[in-house]
């Protein structure tokens, strides 16, 4: 079990927010295969308080899509506090502050992982948000450092976050300088875990149950958050949870099971987005399911040329 403030989760495996990936169809797909908790895509606090149409559209959900978390990015304390209050009023189950995004335009705005270099400002933001998030967990997600891989920056932020009343911390084991390259350092995540008493969730380089055991041993984290490892792999949630419980992981899905899941995912995208946009989005999504299989280059080419859902379904069914 994972406990964050008033929230109690049976699973200690959390789905990370992923820009352009963790949309409603992705989340519903994951829940059908064992995912308990997910975050929707990161949203801009500035855009939210202005009630930007596209931002509000990103927040759409359904009753089946619960429990659900929302993650904010920004750097102005009053705006962050207002946006956090709005999300709680909308009925989200968990609010997170992004202190890890490495994208240059986010860094240039003083947000994301830039805030690792601004501990005083970060603390002010945390206190402002904490005042407006009263009934649900409020957490942060950060990297181990901006350029320093030692974890010193993350430890300072973690201690300030704990003092500010934050309910938990997720640590990605890379620096901002690394981006998504190199290896995530779970020993450094473990340093953050030892520095605070609130729950710490580890993130980075979890693609299978085999990836998990050593990471848990060296870090001692309370839970794990997965990102790219779940793309085209909704079976990962149950597999990781079995590993965390000290039980054997279930066998990997067969090729036919992958095809069945890809067809389900396509159907969800089309139902939610309409055929035109659903097919466009599915060109990327469907290829996630088969990226390591033979003749995938030809399959990808066919999928990228498809313009209707029935055409895409036929390509998936005929793939061998």
Token pair listed for 160: 């300030």
Q: Does the active-site annotation cover 101? A: yes
Q: How far out from the chain centre does Cα 196 lie?
A: 22
Closest CA to 38 of 25, 51, 56: 25
Q: Where are the alpha helices (DSSP H) in the chain?
A: 24-32, 45-49, 53-58, 77-90, 104-108, 119-132, 152-163, 186-195, 212-219, 236-244, 255-273, 275-288, 296-305, 309-318
* Enclosing H/E stretch for 173: strand 168-175
Catalytic residue among 21, 101, 287, 317: 101
Question: Considering only CA atoms, which of 79, 7, 26, 55 is closest in space to residue 230?
Answer: 26
What is the DSSP-derived secondary structure letter of residue 150?
T
Cβ-Cβ contacts under 8 Å for 117 (sequence gap 6 or more): 146, 153
Residues identified as active-site: 101
């Amino acid at each position: 079990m994972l406990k964050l403030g008033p929230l109690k989760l049976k699973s200690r495996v959390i789905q990370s927010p992923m820009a352009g990936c963790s949309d409603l169809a992705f989340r519903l797909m994951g829940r059908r295969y064992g995912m308990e908790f997910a975050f929707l895509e990161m949203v801009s606090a500035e855009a939210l308080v202005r009630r930007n149409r596209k931002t509000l559209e990103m927040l759409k959900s359904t009753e089946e899509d619960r429990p659900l978390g929302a993650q904010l990015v920004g750097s102005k304390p009053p705006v962050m506090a207002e946006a956090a209050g709005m999300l709680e009023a909308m009925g989200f189950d968990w609010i997170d502050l992004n202190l890890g995004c490495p994208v240059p335009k986010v860094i240039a705005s003083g947000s994301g992982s830039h805030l690792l270099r601004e501990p005083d400002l970060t603390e002010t933001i945390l206190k402002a948000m904490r005042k407006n998030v009263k009934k649900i967990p409020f957490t942060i997600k950060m990297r181990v450092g901006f350029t320093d891989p030692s974890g010193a920056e993350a430890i300072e932020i973690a201690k300030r976050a704990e003092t500010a009343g934050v309910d938990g911390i997720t640590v990605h084991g890379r620096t901002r300088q690394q981006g998504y390259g190199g290896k995530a350092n779970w020993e450094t995540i473990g340093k953050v875990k030892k520095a605070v008493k609130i729950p710490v969730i580890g993130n980075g380089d979890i693609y299978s149950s085999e990836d998990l055991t050593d990471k848990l041993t060296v870090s001692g984290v309370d839970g794990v958050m997965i990102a790219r490892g779940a793309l085209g792999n909704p079976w990962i949630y149950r597999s990781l949870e079995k590993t965390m419980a000290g039980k054997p992981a279930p066998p990997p899905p067969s090729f036919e099971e992958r095809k069945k899941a890809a067809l389900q995912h396509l159907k969800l995208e089309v139902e939610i987005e309409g055929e035109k946009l659903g097919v466009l989005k599915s060109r990327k999504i469907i290829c996630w399911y088969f990226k390591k299989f033979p003749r995938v280059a030809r399959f990808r080419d066919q999928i990228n040329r498809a313009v209707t859902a029935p055409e895409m379904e036929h390509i998936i069914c005929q793939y061998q």
